[in-house]
Amino acid sequence: MVMGEKRTSVTKTFGILTAGGDCPGLNAAIRGVCRAAYNRYGMSIIGIANGFTGLIEENARLLKPGDFSGILTQGGTILGASREKPFKHETYEAGDIVGDKVLAIKDTYHKLGLDCLVLLGGNGTHTTGYKLACEGLNIIGLPKTIDNDIVGTDRSFGFHSALSIGTEAIDRLHSTAQSHSRVIVIELMGHKAGWLALYAGVAGGGDTILIPEIPYDVNIIARHLKERRQSGKHFSIVVAAEGAMSIEESRMDKKGRKKYRLEHGPSTAYRIAREISDETGIESRATVLGYVQRGGIPSASDRVLATSLGTAAADLLARGEYGRMVALDGNDIVSIDLSVPEGKVKAVPLDHYMIDTARAVGTCMGV
């Protein structure tokens, strides 16, 4: 093929949007998809503003090369994002009558003359994407989330950047915990899965790591912290995922757990710090890292992954292989059917090597 000659493509025009929470690497992924689609295949690209809201409100524009140039290192997303869930409040099965928002999305898709819609998002986004595919739209997904909890991919972009941020925060807390002989509980994101807390906890040398998959016993945590004191270690770092729960909480239904947390808030770290103080008498403090975890520039690893997933998505577009999500499988970029991640969460397996690694170096997992 002559340099600069366009390759053939089934897809002529596609739309692209970012949905859910922002995370490092979104712009790198946008750049990867758009550059490959435009430079290699000559596709037309329609940028959809603010997630699914943009489709509902017909807020879209033609993207030109200047729009996706120079954005590799930028945090956030040039397209904007929202948490709009068009199928929310609907018990959906393929062929069901859908609500006005879904009808508006379908209408905008056809008005814009799209051959496919590329979605950059997490679990909720891919669940919506699968449902839209069942409604007859052509969909391709790219997995992003700092939680790393999307089924079907070994890693999602955004995770590595958040891991680096979380680890640095733990490193910094060690010195203040040591100076004041305190227990400091740091809360990281991870509502349903504990990948981020587990990996950052190991990387940062957390003395206790608490994740949603392993309900904790505060008495065991207290005993571990007391033993550290008795051995001459007068400070401790507890790394907790936001979804970490006690054994008692794990026995509650969703409604009961929500009520309990509202009464014992304001968040997981504060609740656990109070429990530790009550059980040990050791001065304990809480730190909630919050949105800092998903802000800022992406790590080199996430830039590479996001770019690779993006260019692979462009190849799927060119071949007309729709209803797929690009994914990392070992060292290979592959694609899987959208039904695989739909409605699921990739939890940390209880036999995962990182749990054993944490325990092997003396980390308490709360049980």
Per-residue pLDDT at 60 exceeds 80: yes
Q: Is 147 a catalytic residue?
A: yes
| Overall pTM surpassing 0.75 (yes/no) | yes
Confidence bin at 88 (pLDDT 50/70/90):
confident
pLDDT at 95 over 80: no
Query: Quick one: CA dihedral 118, 120, 122, 128, positive or negative?
Result: negative
Percentage of the chain lying above the pLDDT 90 cut? 89
Q: Residue 9 and residue 141: Cα distance in Å, rounded?
A: 18
Q: What is the pLDDT of residues 232-279, one digit of tens each?
A: 999 999 999 999 999 999 999 989 988 888 888 789 999 999 999 999
- Per-residue confidence band for 4, with pLDDT thresholds at 50, 70 and 90: low
Q: Which amino acid is at 130?
A: Y
Other Cβ atoms less than 10 A from the Cβ of 343: the count is: 12
Q: For 299, how many CA atoms within 13 A lie in the half-sphere containing its CB?
A: 17
Query: What does the block give as tokens for 140?
Result: 């391709």
CA angle 30, 33, 36 (to 5 degrees): 135
**How far is it, in rounded angstroms, from Cα 295 to Cα 190?**
16
Catalytic residue among 22, 100, 115, 147: 147
